[in-house]
A and B are shown apart, each in its own frame.
Chain A
Amino acid sequence: DAGITQSPRHKVTETGTPVTLRCHQTENHRYMYWYRQDPGHGLRLIHYSYGVKDTDKGEVSDGYSVSRSKTEDFLLTLESATSSQTSVYFCATSLGSMDTQYFGPGTRLTVL
């Protein structure tokens, strides 16, 4: 798992509440990514980071924000959760942009 942890592993929340998911890595990888995985869709990139305080949008970034204040931590925030954001969220890291991505165990989020 390249030393990647995600917290919480499971969360149930209500529509309209803020939610923050945390990804922590011990590999000192420069790149970090947030994906969501839903039935009928391949993994979809939400946001990624290419360094401390350097982030960019992925293909499904609406409704999500991220922050990276330290190399090892990458936070994903849903400012006001909606039912369409019910999903499994994966964090991944890579040494360089073209290198293999290593994935965390995932967070299952349910928005009621």
Chain B
Amino acid sequence: KNQVEQSPQSLIILEGKNCTLQCNYTVSPFSNLRWYKQDTGRGPVSLTIMTFSENTKSNGRYTATLDADTKQSSLHITASQLSDSASYICVVTSNAGNNRKLIWGLGTSLAVNP
């Protein structure tokens, strides 16, 4: 069964600190993996997309890693800001011929406190 599991479920950190969010998946065949940020009361916004051959990709203070062998991804946030408080969702795309499917994780809720 295709699944995406994220950990931790929630996280509280102090402003300025770093944190790492985890995503484990059992999706086959794998096409790509995206991280989305969803602010409270708003729609998700894409942060990064990674394909099978990519190990690391950065977007400002956000750095995503992908280990396709172990089927794990992480999102590292550097020097957190209050505006980083949001839910971070991992999404894996499975693409088998004409059957394309997105498998969404439940997200990690991050709170950055002053």
- Residue positions of A touching B, CB distance < 8 A: 1, 4, 40-45, 90, 92, 97-98, 100-106
Does B31 belong to the interface (CB within 8 Å)? yes
Interface residues on B, range: 20 to 34
Which residue of A45, A97, A100, A104 contacts B49 across the interface (Cβ within 8 Å)? A100
Q: Answer whether residue B60 sits at the interface, using C-beta atoms and an 8 A cutoff.
A: no
The reply to whether A100 and B31 form a contact with Cβ atoms under 8 Å apart is no
Nearest B residue to A4, CB-CB: B43
Whether B104 is near chain A, meaning CB under 8 Å from some CB there, is: yes
Residue of B whose beta carbon sits closest to that of A92:
B43
- Having A42-B106, A105-B42, one finds 19 other A-B pairs with CB under 8 Å, namely A1-B43, A42-B103, A42-B104, A42-B105, A42-B107, A43-B89, A92-B43, A97-B100, A98-B32, A98-B93, A98-B100, A100-B46, A101-B46, A101-B102, A102-B46, A104-B43, A105-B41, A106-B42, A106-B43
Chain A to chain B contacts (Cβ below 8 Å), 25 pairs: A1-B43, A4-B43, A40-B106, A42-B4, A42-B89, A42-B106, A42-B107, A43-B104, A45-B102, A90-B43, A90-B44, A97-B100, A98-B31, A98-B93, A98-B95, A100-B34, A100-B46, A102-B46, A103-B44, A103-B45, A104-B43, A105-B41, A105-B42, A106-B41, A106-B42
Q: Which residue of B lies closest to A103 (CB)?
A: B43
On chain B, the residues within 8 Å of A105 by CB distance are 41-43
B-to-A contact residues, CB < 8 Å? 4, 31-32, 34, 41-46, 49, 89, 93, 95, 100, 102-107
A6 closest partner in B (C-beta): B43
User: How many whole Å from B105's CB to the nearest CB in chain A?
Assistant: 6
Instruction: State the Cβ distance, A9 to closest chain B Cβ, in Å.
Output: 10
Q: Closest CB-CB distance, B2 to chain A, in whole Å?
A: 11
Instruction: Tell me the bound Cα distance from A104 to B93 in angstroms.
Output: 20
